[in-house]
Amino acid sequence: MDLNSGVKLKDYELYKAKFTYRTEQLKNDYKSGIISEALEMWPYKIDNEWLDFFNLFADYEHPAEEYEIAFVQYCVDMIEIEKQEGQNLRADEKIEKLSVSEIQRIYDIIQRVSKLNLEIFKDNCGLEGLLHFSWTESDVKSKLAHKTDDNFFNANLDKRGAFWELGYEKHDRMLYHVMQNVLINKKYKRELKDDVLLWCFITTLDWKVDFQNEYLRPIKILLNNNPIENHIAWQECPKKGLYIHYSKYSACAVPQYYGEHISLEDFIKETINSIYN
């Protein structure tokens, strides 16, 4: 509880307090004559410069601080995954395990991310080109506005694939999408931890752009080489008209939050109901 107001603290506020306490704890225990920049500047950055950046994503229900701390927690989780340990620990236990070098790394990542110009995507966050679909037959799109099941069943039952587009280089747009729509959405928590491409982009922001893209390309190839056979329908352009593609195969490393995936079985039921009811 916040002693000043008597209001119970939110989960993200508690996380922020525990993380800040960890930086103070390490600063007091630091034996070297030089204190890490992250330990010294963390309390200032978290309440000022970084908070201003995350205000880009805030709305009436979710303040900037919630997005900010969600990103900090995401970085902590990914670092634990890299170490292949701590994934079953509680959030506060992960904080207690953080070293000075790990906090410095998170600090550096947020410093670089907060300098990106993501505001340009605020009113135009379309993800066209983010995914590459490879079709086995002609590229036919069935617009169900005709209300006939023949369009769907004849044209879409053998479409294949949702894979990372190897030439895609607008990873900052991908990052904006995740920060705005995924970070504080609990149903995506597991998928976010598996989003290798996003984490590789975030951790290489200090590279030259051409070197970074050259590095991310083989990452995409590796991810695409682990396809799964599925029964997933891909829904496209829901505001302009309902287009459906059935993905026979897809790369399991492409999280569903980069597009709207729906069950093919559920879609068929809904389509039939909309036609005859």
Q: Which two tokens stand for residue 17?
A: 């307090």
In one-letter notation, the amino acid at residue 89 is: L
Q: At what angle do helices 64-82 and 11-29 cross, to 10 degrees?
A: 60
Predicted TM-score (pTM) of the model is 0.80
Could you tell me which residues come within 8 angstroms of residue 68 by beta carbon, excluding any fewer than 6 positions away? 46, 50, 51, 53, 54
166-200 pLDDT tens trace: 888 889 999 999 999 999 998 888 889 989 999 99
225-271 pLDDT tens trace: 988 777 666 665 555 555 666 667 778 888 888 876 666 666 666 66
